[in-house]
Structure 1
Amino acid sequence: MASLVLKMSVSLDGFVAPADGSGDWIAAGGSADALSWSVETVSNAAAHLMGSASYKVMAAHWPGDSGPFAKPMNEIPKIVFSDSLTSADWPETTIVPGDLTEAITHLKKEEEDGYLLAHGGVRFARSLVATGLIDEYRLIVHPVILGTGERIFLERLNLTPTSTTAFTAGAVAHTFTPQP
């Protein structure tokens, strides 16, 4: 049975997106070792899971990119959870409508090895957290304070730390599992 991993970038003050929606803050603390960790996480996934908003952004970007994330993003199967999308132009993409909890439970049972890597937009990540089906959180904390913005954790969630990796430019990757 596959595990469900949510990978997100987080500011020091707990935001995953600033109020203006910009993404430049994610560069704070970026380094070659942080990039390598992220590429490895993305490359080892059995499938990439996302909501329709993230799909639209990624499908417009990755097919024409040649950077280190391009190969795993383009070649590894993608599963998009949406009741509004009816077709996908990005190869290796399947659209799954309906109940998120039911669909994730089915996917976890269907995939024998590895992990399903969820790429968040805020709404999708919150929906996944609410299902209680996330087996591991991989949170990259960037050395930046956003002050305001969007959070994915809206209620208390007790976590057990399983690893911490400090990168040379100040970002830190924390891996947690939820406590029962």
Structure 2
Amino acid sequence: MRKLHMKMSMSIDGFVAGPNGEKDWLFKTGDAQSKAWAAEQTWDAGLIIMGRKSFEVMAPYWPTSTDPFAAPMNEIPKAVFTKKGFKGFDPGNSPSPAATSWANARVFDGDLAGEIRKLKAEQGKPITAIGGAGFMRSLIATGLVDEFRLVIHPVVLGAGLPIFDGLAMPLYLKLVDTKVFPGGTIVHTYGI
């Protein structure tokens, strides 16, 4: 059985995006070491999962990106979860291997908890969940996340989208690792 890791960037005051989904602050607070750590963590995944909205933003971007994250984002298999249908990703007439990896993403539109249990039962490296607040809240509610990798950026937004709101009961976590980077970003890794 493989583990499910959630990787999420957030502000000091606990928001993963601004009130209207703004994420520009993420790119103003990183440094070379924190970016290298994040790319390394991405390579550790056997499957990257995300919600439909995040997938639709990322799929056209990563195949042509020169960012250090491009290689793992394009090479690691992906799965997309949707409640409202999914039209897929068309890589065009001459698809690159990177675009094809996005076009071949597995699509799940059933019960989130049931589908996650099936994915965790498969053999392979851990599953890494990335994406937006709505998908992450739904994933947290399943109780199936084994590890939370919370990347705390040195910014206070004052308002925005949280992922830990609306829990049915407290979620007690155990701190298993902390990393501090020169630009002020701190990673807190929590297990269940």
TM-score for the superposition, normalised by structure 2:
0.88
Once the two structures are TM-superposed, the CA of residue 20 in structure 1 deviates from its matched residue by: 2.9
* Conserved 8 A contact 2:88-2:103: no
1:169 aligns with 2:169: no
Q: Could you say which residue in structure 1 is the equivalent of 2:46?
A: 46
For 1:1-180, list aligned pairs within 5 A: 1-83=1-83, 84-89=85-90, 90-110=102-122, 112-154=123-165, 155=167, 156-178=170-192
> Considering only aligned residues, what root-mean-square deviation do their CA atoms show, in Å?
1.2
Once the two structures are TM-superposed, the CA of residue 113 in structure 1 deviates from its matched residue by: 3.1
Q: Which stretches of structure 1, 4 residues or more, deviate above 6 A after TM superposition?
A: none
CA–CA distance in structure 2, aligned partners of residues 82 and 109 of structure 1: 21
**Structure 1 residues not aligned, in runs of 5+:** none
CA–CA distance in structure 1, aligned partners of residues 88 and 56 of structure 2: 11
CA–CA distance in structure 2, aligned partners of residues 113 and 63 of structure 1: 24
Per the alignment, in what secondary structure is the counterpart of residue 150 of structure 1? coil
Amino acid at match of 1:50: M
CA–CA distance in structure 2, aligned partners of residues 93 and 33 of structure 1: 30
CA–CA distance in structure 1, aligned partners of residues 157 and 88 of structure 2: 36
Per the alignment, in what secondary structure is the counterpart of residue 174 of structure 2? strand
CA–CA distance in structure 1, aligned partners of residues 111 and 163 of structure 2: 20
**Structure 2 residues not aligned, in runs of 5+:** 91-101
Per the alignment, in what secondary structure is the counterpart of residue 165 of structure 1? strand
Amino acid at match of 1:88: F
Counting matched residue pairs gives 177
